[in-house]
A and B are shown apart, each in its own frame.
Chain A
Amino acid sequence: MTAIIEIEGLRKEYRRRRGRPFCAVDGLDLTVPEGGVFGFLGPNGSGKTTTIRCMLGLVSATSGTTAVLGRVTPGELSTVMPNVGAIVETPAMFPTMTARENLHLLGAIDGIGRRRVAESLDAVGLGERADHKVRTYSLGMRQRLGLAAALLKDPALLILDEPENGLDPAGMREIRELLRLLGREGRTVFVSSHLLTEVEQTCDRVAILDRGRLVLSGRVDDVLAEASRPSLLVVLDDMDAGAETLRSAGLSVAVDGGHLRVALPASDAAHVTRLLADAGLYVSELRPDSVSLEELFLSITAHEEVLS
């Protein structure tokens, strides 16, 4: 699988007027494969934005290398940037100009015409407000405008730093669907966020960063499956009788809150229902015990905090 972004041993220290330098990114290794939506997660101050700034040449790395679209950055950024659309934090535009004028000016740098500007504005749902001054825009609309600017180049790679900041639920949903669509089109969308439910619904792969270090990386399904305990959660009227029945069949059962936790994989759910039905007990709820990305994220970052 071709790597679109490759980061090796990236370290970034910021000097402070007093005291030791602050290490924002601490030896990060990361590979982002081509295509799909890649979520780059981490709590505030974990180094997500600094990593993106290093990739885009906005800050210089203290050590380590970054490569985007197979080219080492920042040295070869001029070669790759025509194929990269990026938003870094809240995108800023001229407030006294309209969205369309702002995009025309940006597009003119790469010779992008009016038609593409209109298409980008429509893609993010700003078509009707395109001729309003940016100073009248809400934060969410500015985010959309930033996304439109990133889409303007028709890029192979989109690097988006918290694109859902300031969006209302409907806006989040629209952007989520847009990102999914862009990923399905064969582009690579690298999106940093701390909105975990959004990431879980949008991304194919994730990497979790904490205190400047990579703590987990992989396909969302694999990461969650690995983190999940292989057990089934069962709810029925007579919990004690149910537990007794299952234990007598040799299964490991624990009464956990309002349900029974049976130590079996999801594929053995039929076996559990059969045992209970044979004993005259009927299941009102049966589901595999799954872990959400949010739970996983919180457990990892809390663990890291304890270690540190």
Chain B
Amino acid sequence: MTFLRLTVVEMRRALHRRLVRWMVVIAVVGCAVTGLVVFLSSADPVRFAQDEGHPARMANWWGSGGDDFLTVAALFLVVGAAICGASVAGAEWRAGTMTTMLTWVPSRVRLHGARTCSAALLAFVISFLIQVLYLASAVPAVAAHGSTAGTDASWWAALPLAMLRISLVTSLVAVLAVSIATIGRNTSAALVVLAAWALVIERLVAGFWPRLARFMIAENVAIVVRWAKLSDVKFERPPIVALLALVAYLATVVATATTLFARRDVVTT
């Protein structure tokens, strides 16, 4: 049993999860609906002329500001990765398949490692493909009503890098969710913890102690995705430092999850 084979098996198991499949279907349908909305909303020349940030103007896909077309997708991808990651680990406990798995893979560190790697790889690949689909959905609007003005060579070079960074962040979030669900042995608990951390604790800390905001996950994610200094904050943090901070946070959580998973008794089926 090689680690690679186990990782592939874990990827197949994750892809067999109904929730994961539904999330992919929802994303694909969302891309199609987005494409339709973009096309229809760009059909009226008067309204289109007034909307400077419309995604039928290709330059708005990336680099036009904080709410460009791709950044909106990133938000959904991160949320989807958190839900799927938590489900991949949490549902094993709920369905009781963990005991069955451990009679096949007795090394828990190996199993958790393979599961973490599979979640990271799947999240990365799926999120990249969804981004491609998402951008492709706006192509008919660009071709029929919009323009490619402003999309020079540097823009074309920046776009795939931005997509890769979004995939990387999605991947990190999926691993985070897997680890927290492994610690809590529950999907819902993991999602509640993640949501409470991101939406309540970090916002409170950033609100009351703005100087500490540079240590928050959300701020670091935003810096990594944009790969630039944030304009509306009171701190400076180079993108590479933000990325290293995220990796350090994640490594801590993964190490904690692996240690607990390896040591705790498995007493339920």
Contact = CB atoms under 8 A, between A and B. Distances in A.
Contacts of B266: 53, 58-59
Interface string A63-93: 0000000000010011001101110111111
B104 A106 contact: yes
Contact of B267 (A59, A93, A150): A59
Interface in B141-174: none
A109 B97 contact: no
A105 B10 CA distance: 9
Contacts of A86: 103
Interface in B69-126: 95-97, 99-100, 102-107, 110
A105 B17 CA distance: 13
Nearest to A149: B100
Contacts of A74: 106
Contacts of B9: 105, 108-109
Given A59-B265, A101-B16, A109-B5, A93 B97 contact: yes
Given A89-B269, A96-B18, A97-B16, A109 B102 contact: no
Interface string B15-44: 010100000000000000000000000000
A110 B9 CA distance: 10
Contacts of B96: 90, 92
Given A53-B266, A58-B265, A108-B5, A92 B99 contact: yes
B100 A106 contact: yes
A105 B269 CA distance: 19
Contacts of A82: 1
Contacts of B211: none
B13 A92 contact: no
Max chain A CB contacts within 10 Å: which of B8, B95, B100? B100
Interface residues of A, number: 35
A94 B9 CA distance: 14
Contact of A92 (B6, B97, B263): B97
A60 interface: yes
B12 interface: yes
B269 A57 contact: no
A95 interface: yes
Contacts of A105: 9, 12-13, 16
A47 B261 CA distance: 23
Given A92-B100, A101-B16, A110 B1 contact: yes
A19 interface: no
A108 B12 contact: yes
A53 B8 CA distance: 27
Interface in A142-160: 146, 149-150
A94 B95 contact: yes
A139 B4 CA distance: 34
Contacts of A146: 100
Q: Which of A56, A109, A149 has the most CB of B within 10 A?
A: A109
B95 A88 contact: no
Nearest to B98: A92
Given A58-B266, A89-B269, 4 more contacts: A53-B267, A105-B12, A109-B6, A109-B105
Interface of B: 1, 5-6, 8-9, 12-13, 16, 18, 95-97, 99-100, 102-107, 110, 263, 265-267, 269
17 contacts: A56-B103, A57-B102, A78-B107, A81-B103, A84-B103, A88-B103, A90-B269, A92-B96, A92-B100, A94-B95, A94-B97, A105-B13, A106-B100, A106-B104, A109-B1, A109-B6, A109-B104
Q: 10 shortest A-B CB distances, which residue pairs?
A: A92-B96, A77-B106, A59-B265, A86-B103, A58-B266, A89-B269, A92-B97, A108-B9, A81-B106, A109-B104
